[in-house]
Structure 1
Amino acid sequence: MNFAIVGPGAIGSLWASSLSHAGHNINLWSRQTDNQLTIQCDNHLPLTLPNNDHQALKNSDVVLVTLKAPFVLSGLKSLVEHIHSDAIIVLMHNGMGTAEPVSSLFPNNPLLLATTTHGAYRPTPQHVLHTGKGNTQLGATNSLGHQCEFIVDVLNNALPTVEWHSNIQQALWNKLAINCAINPLTAINNVNNGTLSQQAYQYDLQQIINEVVEVMHAEAIAVEMQALTKTIQHVIEATAANYSSMQQDIAHRRTSEIDFITGYLIARAKHHQIDVSFNQSLYNSIKQIEQSW
């Protein structure tokens, strides 16, 4: 199949390499102006792939969008006329809130949402390391998307394990809950994930979780307080040496995904008239740091 990877950062480069090695045709869309980019995953041979090629994009069967959430809509707006109406669009990023505007932008395209736990790191722009094997969950957000379950087999063959989720909102909310707990705290305190296992952070974590669970219940998302707390603690321990994406963004003075993580939670809480003042204070702190630049 023909795949376009929009936003070939760490995760995008990992998928580009995996899909290419599985025999698919890959083209990239990035901020780089070169008409070709080189990607080397781990110790595999380097791949040279077309970049910003309009004809290759028009011929793409699948457009995998791995841009960070704040850049998804602006990135895709410039590509609307070059994406075929039959192309499957897959959004794969942290946070929530991009599906509705993207669906309005591409009303005739199948739209899928994805969440992945694969770890990837780019020590250089050309080299990506697969730092942790995980799984990817995929699901539809419109009626055309529900006809595209076959894509699971294609993706699973390239980078297992990939599963179809009949209620992708459940999977996305589970990931959002983890991100709400870990990302702002690590960014504000400039610490790695494992530091949050210390006693000093347990009160903050529980306040976040209490508010998240209330909003998830209002959204009709199945969640149990004790189970979610256990999951978050497990992720903190399993990724102890890692720095969250938000911590990295704030440390390097880049726009974070706070509007699509804690910001999305706050928006849904407002809709249901739920008080999430603790998460609001974390959101405000991140915004104050960003505005201080």
Structure 2
Amino acid sequence: MNFTVVGPGAIGSLWASYLKDAGHHISLWSRQTANQIVIKRDHCLANTFTNNDPSSVMNADVILVTLKAPIVEQVLTQMKSYINSDAIIVLMHNGMGTAEAIKTHLPDNPLLLATTTHGAYRPSSDLVSHTGRGKTLLGAANQKGQQCEFLVEVLNHALADVAWHHNIDQALWNKLAINCAINPLTAIHQIRNGELAQPQYHAQLTAIVSEVCAVINAQGFKAEENNLRQIIDEVILATSQNFSSMEQDIAHQRPSEIDFITGYVVKCAHQHNIAVPTNQALYNAVKQIEQRW
């Protein structure tokens, strides 16, 4: 199949590399200006990819979007004239809130949402390391997307495990809850994930989980505080040596995804008249840091 990977950061580069090794035709769309981009994954041979080529986008069967959430709408709007109406759009990024805008801009395209727990690190623009194996969940965001379950087999052949989720929003809310617990605290305090296991963060984590669970349930999905807290503690332990993406954004003075993580929870909470003071305070703190630059 023909894939265009939009936003070849760590996760995008990882998928581009694995998909090309699986025999697919892969092009990239990135902020880099070069016509070609070289990506080397771990100890594998380097692959060369066409970059920012409109004809490759026009021929793409799948547009895999691994951009950061804040720029998804802007970039896909710029690419809109090149995207075939039959191309499957796959949104794979942290946070929630981009799908509705994409449905408006590309109403005829099958739209899928994805979440992955694979770990990737990009020490430089041409290197990517697969730092932890995980699982990818895929699901439909519109009616045409429901006809695209076959893509699970394609992706699974390239980078297992991939599974179809009939209620992908539930899976995305679960992932969002984890991000709400880990990302803002690690970003504000500039610490590794594992530091959150220290006693001084216990009360804040408990409050975050309680507030997010209330919002998830109000949205019509299922969340139970004790179960969610256990999952978050397990993730903190499993990724103890990792820096969260938001921590890295703040460390490098880049705009973070706070509006699409904690900010999305706060927005939904307001719609249901639910008080989320801990999440609101964390959201405000990250925004204040960003405004200093």
Shorter-chain TM-score bucket reads: over 0.9
Alignment of 1:111-122 (within 5 A): 111-122=111-122
- State the match for 1:57 in structure 2: 57
Provide the secondary structure at the position in 1 that maps to 2:70.
Answer: helix
CA offsets, 1:214-261, max 9 Å, x none? 001101111111100100000000000001000000011000000000
Cα distance in 2 for partners of 1:151, 1:169 equals: 18
Runs of 4+ in 1 over 3 A off after TM superposition: none
AA aligned to 1:70 is P
CA offsets, 1:198-219, max 9 Å, x none? 0000000001011001001101
AA aligned to 1:219 is Q
Provide the secondary structure at the position in 1 that maps to 2:255.
Answer: coil
Deviation at 1:147, TM superposition (A): 0.4
- State the match for 1:15 in structure 2: 15
Cα distance in 1 for partners of 2:29, 2:72 equals: 12
- State the match for 1:245 in structure 2: 245
- Given the two structures, how large is their TM-score scaled by the length of structure 1? 0.99
Provide the secondary structure at the position in 1 that maps to 2:166.
Answer: coil
Provide the secondary structure at the position in 2 that maps to 1:5.
Answer: strand
AA aligned to 1:17 is S
Provide the secondary structure at the position in 2 that maps to 1:149.
Answer: coil
Deviation at 1:169, TM superposition (A): 0.4
1:90 aligns with 2:94: no
1:262 aligns with 2:266: no
Provide the secondary structure at the position in 1 that maps to 2:11.
Answer: helix
Cα distance in 1 for partners of 2:231, 2:154 equals: 29
CA offsets, 1:140-175, max 9 Å, x none? 010000000000000000000000000000000000
Provide the secondary structure at the position in 1 that maps to 2:180.
Answer: helix
What runs of 5+ residues in structure 2 fail to find an aligned partner? none
AA aligned to 2:203 is Y
CA offsets, 1:8-30, max 9 Å, x none? 01000000000000000000000
1:196 aligns with 2:199: no
Deviation at 1:118, TM superposition (A): 0.3
- Given the two structures, how large is their TM-score scaled by the length of structure 2? 0.99
- State the match for 2:76 in structure 1: 76
- State the match for 1:290 in structure 2: 290
Taking only aligned residues, the RMSD between alpha carbons, in angstroms, comes to 0.5
Deviation at 1:124, TM superposition (A): 1.0
Provide the secondary structure at the position in 1 that maps to 2:240.
Answer: coil
Cα distance in 1 for partners of 2:229, 2:10 equals: 28
Cα distance in 2 for partners of 1:53, 1:102 equals: 21
AA aligned to 1:141 is A
How many residues align? The count is 293
- State the match for 1:32 in structure 2: 32
Alignment of 1:163-178 (within 5 A): 163-178=163-178
- State the match for 2:126 in structure 1: 126
Which deviates the most, 214-223 or 78-87?
A: 214-223
Cα distance in 2 for partners of 1:264, 1:237 equals: 26
Cα distance in 2 for partners of 1:292, 1:225 equals: 35
AA aligned to 1:245 is S
Provide the secondary structure at the position in 2 that maps to 1:79.
Answer: helix
